[in-house]
Amino acid sequence: MSEGPSPNASDFIREMIRADVASKKHDGAVVTRFPPEPNGYLHIGHAKSICLNFGAAEENGGRCHLRFDDTNPSTEDIEYVESIQRDVRWLGFDWGEHLYYASDYYERLYMLGEKLIELGRAYVCDLTEDEFANDYRGTITEHGKDSPYRARSKDENLDLFRRMRAGEFADGAKVLRARIDMTSPNMKMRDPPLYRIKHAHHYRTGDAWCLYPLYDFAHCLSDSFEGITHSLCTMEFESARELYDWVVAATEVPHVPRQTEFARLNLSYTVMSKRKLLKLVKDGVVAGWDDPRMPTISGMRRRGYTPEAIRAFCKRIGVAKNLSTVDLALLEHTVRDDLNERAPRVLAVLRPLKVVVESWRDGEVDVLDAPYWPHDVPKEGTRPLPFTRELFIDRDDFAEEPPKGFKRLAPGREVRLRHAYVVRCTQVIKDAQGEIVELRCTHDASSRGGAPADGRKIDGTIQWVSATHATPLEVRLYDRLFTTESPGEGDRDFMEDLNPAALTSVSALGEASLANARHGEHYQLERTGFFVVDPDTTEGRIVLNRTVALKDAWARAQASSAGASPKVDAAARPKAQKTPAQAPRVVEELAPRARAWVDTHAIAEDDARTLAAHEALARVFDEALAASADARAVAGLLVNEILGELRSRDTDAPPFGGAEVAELVVLAGDGTLSRSQVKDVLGHMFAGEGAPRAIVEARGLRQIASEDALAPVVDRVLADNADAVARLRGGNANVLGALVGMVMKATGGKANAKVVRELVQARVAG
């Protein structure tokens, strides 16, 4: 199987982890976890997460835990625990000793609940769910207000919490809430519930508890208990991160894990939510979680997908934060790519049409030795393939009136029977209804093996089976479960988009060797598709599942020329309007402080607005003005350079003040420093190396602006890059930038880029 484009997968998460390892964060340890809730079967979306968590850990010498996030007794079941373990293992990942259950932490978590109460960071609230939602939580745009129970004493809270555990209250009568901030813009922070009462039987803890922690409390603490360093989850948990951090800090647990979110996988023509998958199972639309039409791991396994193919797919799709829907065709390609080198080739006929080779003596059997593998798969092995007078070929491989370009069998025409003989159709026999029921052929005795002795070229090759040696097969042809790219798009019920033809079962005939097919084996039925032997197979009844069809250029061409159902070419679709309306720029009134800056210092309004919006920058700006610097230049530097730097360092205020910025502006203004040196110095200032002048002196920074000094460097670079110069002369203006960049690099950023640019232009023109 060919490797993906990037053998060493890299994405923003792996980069972050590598950086953490390099900086010895957590002593360079990498511990991740895959935390499913045992309330459903794993699907291809989980596979993405599994590959990321186990993969990133392994690549960095770390480990990945399998943890069941089982904090909701009413939906969870041991069946799911077992299927999940089976699926993760099947995918090829190993958690070693590190199998955990949130339910094993119940006691520990409970104690932290008490601790939170003692620290005054949580309280027992008697509001019903509706009361809280309607009267206290507020809305997305309005603040909430404090629960009347928020001010309960520690003792009362503790007493109540213990009695909650003891089972004194009914479900929903009370919850334990975090005491955070009912006015937070993040709804998750408005005193979220941490514990709820649920008199329910838990599949692992039985009836030991009637008090169960909620995700936001249990998950982050479980991560902390296990020493998880990188807690990777999907984007919908993004606004929960603030609460995650709060709980970890508030409970004062020693280990602090870090949550990072990535986009979940969506696949075209499939649904992925557990709710929808469960409905398909419950409604009997599919035969179960492992139905080959399901995007579950177990369904794909039964369909014949391999772990290697799924892992290769996960590698190809990458990891990012974009909302994305991967084309199912990519998954299918990856599966074919994997199976191509894994599945031996055999012959089978799905829609049998009888063929009598009249020139073949009745009763004679020629056992051919047929290779299992095509010439480009480096594997060896053959099987005996009996050839007899009566055969079957596929109905699609014969046409009474062949269309243009048809390379298969037709009256009077020749075709090669794969691995066997070239035959010519001499007669077409029909029944009373005019239906073709049989073909009469003659064979070319010189063509045993497929090549006629006279060397004439035979265009078509088709599959066939001996009528007297055929193995009956039940072949299940699977197709995509939905007919539309986005099932249930808009207001439509996704069930309306179900593809009734997602499963077609046919009685087919396979070659003799297929009689020995064993459960789990992969085969390619030549010219048809990849198949796997289904577990329903019994002695004498071989069941084959179509994993994926082969690409079929002929069928595609026929379909599009027929125009009957022209496959909608994605490229032909009108481009989605990305910016529908050209909205006029609405300029808001400047804040008074910003207005004053604009009026008295003539700085740009946009800059003034930006500065006014960032307290730390505003302060630095005022300080710089006090140092009587060029206001416009200071504002520009703060807004365009320093602000971006602050963001990328994830800090609010720079480790230097206005005086230093003013000093830097002077150094830039008087020509001491080149522009790139200014950025360089800024970097050192952020690193806490002191004032600009000191940095400049210590490092001997001085820009080179004279043409005389720069000319030799420019000439050298131009001489070393004659090809680039040629391209520039050829009219590619972008190369100019690259050459300037090379000169800048050659001078260690000391050169004045403007002068360099002019020099390069002059040299190239001259």
Partner RNA sequence: UCCGGAGUGGUCCAACGGCAAGGAUGCGCGGCUUUGAACCGCGACGGUGGAGGUUCGAGUCCUUCCUCCGGAACCA
Tell me the catalytic residues.
Answer: 37, 264, 274
- Interacting positions 394-423 with RNA (CB under 7 A): 405-408, 416, 418-419
Binding range to RNA, per CB under 7 A, among 57-65, 156-164, 524-532, 657-665:
524-532
Binding range to RNA, per CB under 7 A, among 26-34, 188-196, 245-253, 589-597:
188-196
Distance from C-alpha of 317 to C-alpha of 321, rounded to nearest angstrom: 12
Where helices occur in 430-480 by DSSP H, the ranges are none
Strand ranges, E, within 497-541 = 503-510, 522-525, 529-533
Tokens representing 167 are 């089972």
DSSP 8-state secondary structure symbol assigned to residue 37: -
Neighbours of 730 (CB within 10 A): 8
Q: Are 262 and 319 in contact (CB under 8 A)?
A: yes
Q: Are 548 and 563 in contact (CB under 8 A)?
A: no
Decide whether 153 or 560 has the Cβ nearer to RNA: 560
Contact flag: residue 272 with RNA (CB under 7 A): no
Distance from C-alpha of 239 to C-alpha of 369, rounded to nearest angstrom: 64
- Interacting positions 57-86 with RNA (CB under 7 A): 69, 71-72, 75
Number of residues that bind RNA (CB under 7 A): 144
- Interacting positions 464-523 with RNA (CB under 7 A): none
- Interacting positions 329-348 with RNA (CB under 7 A): 329-330, 332-333, 336-337, 340, 345
- Interacting positions 252-271 with RNA (CB under 7 A): 263, 268
Contact flag: residue 139 with RNA (CB under 7 A): yes
Decide whether 200 or 436 has the Cβ nearer to RNA: 200
Q: What is the separation of C-alpha 78 from the centre of its chain, rounded to a whole number of angstroms?
A: 28
- Interacting positions 3-62 with RNA (CB under 7 A): 4-5, 11-12, 35, 37
Tokens representing 430 are 């029909």
- Burial (CB < 10 A; 0-12, 13-18, 19+), residue 175, is buried
Contact flag: residue 669 with RNA (CB under 7 A): no
Binding range to RNA, per CB under 7 A, among 353-361, 503-511, 550-558, 680-688:
550-558
Q: What is the smallest separation between the CB atom of 284 and RNA, expressed in angstroms? A: 24
Decide whether 125 or 533 has the Cβ nearer to RNA: 125
Contact flag: residue 734 with RNA (CB under 7 A): yes
Contact flag: residue 187 with RNA (CB under 7 A): yes
Contact flag: residue 386 with RNA (CB under 7 A): no
Decide whether 120 or 644 has the Cβ nearer to RNA: 644
Tokens representing 618 are 């505003």
Q: Which of 79, 82, 171, 366 binds RNA (CB under 7 A)?
A: 171
Q: What is the smallest separation between the CB atom of 413 and RNA, expressed in angstroms? A: 11
Q: Which of 636, 709, 711, 746 binds RNA (CB under 7 A)?
A: 636
Secondary structure (H, E, C), 70-83: CCCCCCCCHHHHHH
Binding range to RNA, per CB under 7 A, among 202-210, 372-380, 472-480, 594-602:
372-380
Contact flag: residue 586 with RNA (CB under 7 A): yes
- Burial (CB < 10 A; 0-12, 13-18, 19+), residue 562, is exposed
Contact flag: residue 651 with RNA (CB under 7 A): no
- Interacting positions 741-760 with RNA (CB under 7 A): 741, 744-745, 753-754, 757
Distance from C-alpha of 273 to C-alpha of 45, rounded to nearest angstrom: 9
Distance from C-alpha of 608 to C-alpha of 627, rounded to nearest angstrom: 18
Binding range to RNA, per CB under 7 A, among 20-28, 127-135, 251-259, 384-392:
127-135
Contact flag: residue 527 with RNA (CB under 7 A): yes
Q: For residue 215, give Cα distances in angstroms to 52, 234, 244, 393.
A: 22, 14, 10, 59
Q: Are 62 and 31 in contact (CB under 8 A)?
A: yes
Contact flag: residue 676 with RNA (CB under 7 A): yes
* Nearest 10 degrees: Cα torsion 625, 629, 635, 637: -130
Decide whether 291 or 642 has the Cβ nearer to RNA: 642
Q: For residue 129, give Cα distances in angstroms to 55, 74, 125, 193, 552.
A: 41, 18, 10, 10, 57
